[in-house]
Amino acid sequence: MRTLINKAGAQLIRRRFTGIADLTATLYASLVEHLERTGRLRSRPFDAAACPDATLADIAEDKVKWFLGIAGRERQYPLREDTPPAEALAHLNLLDAGQLTHAAVLLFGRQPQRFLLTSEVKCMHFHGTEVGKPIPSYQIYKGTVFELVDQAVDFVMSKITRAVGTRALGPQAPVEYELPREAVAEAIVNAVAHRDYTSNASVQVMLFADRLELWNPGELPPPLTPESLRAPHASIPRNPLIADPMFLARYAEKAGSGILDMIARCKQAGLPAPEFRQESGQFVQRLRRPNPAVTPQVTPQVDSGRNLLKEQTLEELASALGLSTAQVTPQVTTQVEKVLGATANEARSREELQTATGMIDREHFRKTYVEPLVTSGWLERTIPDKPTSRLQKYRLTAKGRDWLVGAMKRGAK
């Protein structure tokens, strides 16, 4: 018995109590202390808590470098692009006692969904006004929060209709989408940045014939309500450590003005103001699409009666980008034309080409547009023997110029 008492005594904390109430309070305090110590109970936001099993090796150095570059240009962020990842994460308060936080993984992780399975975004396109199967177009996007936003925005913009103007005022024909790109991007940023990452649900982006709806887990933090979003309001981010880097990269604003800007842009486009509601633990944003009867000149797909030149051009573009003809959407064609057009008169750096397209995610732009166009012979490097040189630029080839000239002629017709 003495041996048992000695053994147990080394593993227990002794407390005195005077009654049942005292015993209950002491046990409760001890339980809370244990849960906090083991990470099962959080007193801080989820994004600030340590991500179990994640190490610095799970952080993509190129993603940190990309962020530091864009944050420096957009917000004059003081850290240089070559700042070591550990130092950059510490400066952004993304370490918890030396361990990676959930925010660090979501912002710069090599595979964020390995640690947070439901941090993906599901994008669906329905031809009707209700959810129904089979779903004509369904994509599940993975990656960092920056990549999720870029991919979801590209999905929506590639599905909605657009009107192409003339080149009377410049070398590039203006393109107007039925939904303002800035409004679409703001809604998607809201869904990704402010969702509840402890939920087993994912962000859903659903495009219907009459509207765009975004559902994200989690309700508005008090005292915000769907009605209060329509007036000037404070910014109360659910995930402050995620929101801050997204502000620095100019994906979001801190002043709570993003929703108001979305409303203003929709009104400027002649659309109803966006609608907001909370439903079954989800925050829902709805942007109304214009009545198709009002814009008959805008078509969501290439006319089936296109001539032989257009047919050949579409297939040539699909081949260059490694896509099927069906995958070459108007958005893809426009981005390719912008890339080639930027190099029409002089060689341009990757950063300059990316700026010309308005795309933000560096890796997505490089893999989806620059590399395929170089491989296909539409663009060529000015320093071919050093592909990763910081002085690298890209110039238009004769093959690329032929396609660009054809595209400009078709746009002028």
Q: What is the pLDDT of residues 111-122, one digit of tens each?
A: 999 999 999 999
d(CA 150, CA 182): 12
| Residue-level pLDDT at 332 | 62
pLDDT at 326: 54
Q: Which amino acid is at 359?
A: M
For the chain, list the domains and their CATH numbers. 2-37 (no CATH), 46-114 (no CATH), 121-294 (3.30.565.60), 308-412 (1.10.10.10)
For position 309, what pLDDT does the model report? 35
pLDDT score, position 242: 96
Chain-wide mean pLDDT for the chain? 83
Give the model's pLDDT for residue 303: 35
What's the pLDDT score for residue 408?
66
User: Per the structure block, which two tokens stand in for 353?
Assistant: 């080409």
pLDDT above 70 (res 173): no
More confident residue, 363 or 110: 110
Q: What is the mean pLDDT of residues 59-72?
A: 96
B/e letters for 216-248, b = 16+ CB within 10 Å, e = fewer, are bbbbbeeebeeeebeeebebebbbbbbbbbbbb
Name the range with the highest mean pLDDT among 86-100, 291-305, 330-344, 376-390: 86-100
**Residue 42 confidence class, pLDDT cut points 50, 70, 90:** low
Predicted TM-score (pTM) of this structure: 0.64
Comparison of pLDDT for 362 and 179, the residue scoring more: 179
- How high is the pLDDT of residue 163? 67
Greater pLDDT, 386 or 56: 56
Strands 282-288 and 275-279 come out as antiparallel
Amino acid 138: pLDDT: 94
Distance in angstroms (rounded) separating the CA atoms of residues 216 and 190: 9
pLDDT per residue as tens digits for the range 120-132: 999 999 988 998 8
Confidence of residue 325 (pLDDT cuts 50, 70, 90): low
Mean pLDDT, rounded, for 292-298: 40
Strands 211-217 and 282-288: antiparallel
Residue 50 has pLDDT above 70, yes or no: yes
Q: What pLDDT sits at residue 318?
A: 67
Query: Is residue 310 pLDDT above 60, yes or no?
Result: no
Identity of residue 372:
P
350 or 188, higher pLDDT: 188
pLDDT at res. 11: 74
**Can you point out the beta strands (E) in 312-358?**
none
Q: What is the structure's pLDDT at 301?
A: 35
What does the pLDDT read at residue 297? 36
Q: How many other β-carbons are positioned within 10 Å of the β-carbon of residue 152?
A: 25
Give the lowest-confidence range in 33-37, 363-367, 392-396: 33-37
Q: What is the pLDDT of residue 167?
A: 54
Neighbours of 125 (CB within 10 A): 19
What is the average pLDDT across 255-264?
A: 87
Among 153-167, 183-197, 281-295, 384-398, the range with the most confident prediction by mean pLDDT is: 183-197
User: For 286, how many CA atoms within 13 A lie in the half-sphere containing its CB?
Assistant: 16
**Whether residue 306 has pLDDT greater than 60:** no
